[in-house]
Amino acid sequence: MTDCIFCKIVSGQIPSSKVYEDDQVLAFLDITQVTPGHTLVIPKTHVADVFDMDSDTAGLVFARIPKIARQLKEKLGAKGLNIINNNGEAAGQTVFHSHIHLLPRLDKEDGLAIQFETHEPDFTQLAQLAQELYLEA
């Protein structure tokens, strides 16, 4: 795709700070560095998001994440790691080339806050929703 910033990074038209690369996957430091070592992992072929991704591409990308995560943990002394993936505008995606954020956590006071609002469970409603969403393997 000609207008995609990540495709331009893959092709070498735009420089990046690479931390991993093979024939199918590229990982590079995010320029925003939410936490030190904030890394983006992308497929080299253009795919907008997880909804457009086939299982082969997903397998290629996700198979590399543990290796890259271990390197971030070892070299940075990270005590944890958040993995975030935004898909679609409503989810906050701003670059429409699928990418996985790896956010090393050096300590609890690193300035990154990910919060979930909890709700009292309605088990009947949960069972109905699960039935609607159930997908055969």
| Residues involved in catalysis | 99
Hey, is 87 helix, strand or coil? coil
Decide if 10 contacts 44 (C-beta within 8 A): yes
Q: DSSP character for 90? A: G
DSSP-based three-state secondary structure for 40: strand
Query: 32-50 as b/e, with b when 16 or more CB fall inside 10 Å?
Result: eeebebbbbbbbbbbbbbb
